[in-house]
Amino acid sequence: MMTEVNKSIYLDVARRYYDMQSLYEVVDIVYENEQKELFLHLSDNEAFRVEMNLFKKTPYKAYSKQEINDLCKYAYERNVMIIPVLDIPSHSGGWLNLLKLNDEERYNKVVSDFDEHTVNYWDDGEPIKFIKSMIDEIADAFKIPGYKGEQIFHLGMDEVPAAISNQKWLFWFMEHLFKHVESHNYIPVIWNDQVTPKFLEMALDAGMRDSLRFSYWQQSLKGTVSPDDIMNNFKLYNGNSYPQTFSAKTLDSKKDMEYMKQHSGIDKFNVIGDITYEAKIRNVCGSLLTLWGEDSESRPEKEIITELRRMFTAFVQEAK
């Protein structure tokens, strides 16, 4: 069943590793439901899942760039775009650990001095230079020329320590990376929860109305923007953290499906005091079914994929 707004799977492969066969199956799930996007959450504090020239040594299971590109080609043939997620400047513990293992001197120039999982986003030198190098390798691995500038690159930006009181520094840091992603002909996307009206104002002043997108999971802090604030000028993915977000450890399609059907919707967002707030402005470019992977390693992979298939099919059919 086709829907007015594209429905996507947002799959956490950082905290739960899936073999390539399972990833091909997830592409098929998106394709069989006539949808067009699969987000792969590649990095978090627990691990980083891409083999890179920057990291010669890695203790993590990781996908080779050839494996990724082959998967992207397979998906492209089925009209499914695979979207990389490099979560920065926080949730960066996995790749920061790799950097420390491979080059401790450079690590000390990149990591913040107050949180080992966060990049120093007040520095325009080595942190930006290094992340640009990571973007170069990831963008190359996921690149499909046929998309002609329509590919998407998610840069995270959720739960950033001290971000609300340092919006100028955060935007200044991220703007360098937005532009770098665009130089690879990708469209940048970020999460909403650290964004205030000041951040939106700076993005508009920088001429990013048509080139920056947001994904909205929840509004948890006073002073941050509502979905209407964003959609007044920018396109937005709805990734509601209650009825559209689940754990691979506990996903139960029979039980969770009913909750999702009751509470999810294209225009229903999680804001302070209301998990199903209906937005007044509609500029939604997609809706996400998210599956996080914490503490799910003991659950059989096949079982998770089976439950995901059932949930996504229901998500496409029921969420209006």
For residue 134 the two structure tokens come to 């990571």
Among 67, 116, 137, 159, the active-site one is 159
pTM over 0.85: yes
**Per-residue pLDDT, 75:** 99
Given a contact cutoff of 8 angstroms between Cβ atoms, the answer to whether 96 and 121 are in contact is no
**Per-residue pLDDT, 318:** 77
The whole-angstrom separation of Cα 307 and Cα 319 is 17
For residue 67 the two structure tokens come to 């494996």
Over residues 69-81, mean pLDDT: 99
Task: Name the residue among 147, 143, 124, 146 with its Cα closest to residue 135.
Answer: 143
The whole-angstrom separation of Cα 82 and Cα 64 is 15
Ordered domains of the chain (ranges, CATH): 7-318 (3.20.20.80)
Over residues 61-79, mean pLDDT: 98
Q: What is the pLDDT of residues 175-230, one digit of tens each?
A: 999 999 999 999 999 999 999 999 999 999 999 999 999 999 999 899 999 999 99
Q: What is the pLDDT of residues 135-180, one digit of tens each?
A: 999 999 999 999 989 999 999 999 999 999 999 999 999 999 999 9
Task: Name the residue among 139, 137, 177, 153 with its Cα closest to residue 55.
Answer: 137
**Per-residue pLDDT, 319:** 57
Q: What is the pLDDT of residues 76-92, one digit of tens each?
A: 999 999 999 999 999 99
**Per-residue pLDDT, 124:** 83
Q: What is the pLDDT of residues 26-63, one digit of tens each?
A: 999 999 999 999 999 999 999 999 999 999 999 999 99
Cβ neighbors of 303 (< 8 A, separation 6 or more) are none
Distances (CA, A) of 78 to 113, 142, 298: 45, 15, 32
**Per-residue pLDDT, 2:** 40
DSSP 34-52: T--EEEEE-B-SS-B-B--
**Per-residue pLDDT, 256:** 97
301 is catalytic: no
Q: What is the pLDDT of residues 90-120, one digit of tens each?
A: 999 999 999 999 999 999 999 999 999 999 9
Q: What is the pLDDT of residues 262-313, one digit of tens each?
A: 999 999 999 999 999 999 999 999 999 999 999 999 999 999 999 999 999 9
The whole-angstrom separation of Cα 174 and Cα 157 is 9
| Residue 95 C-beta-side C-alpha neighbours within 13 Å | 32
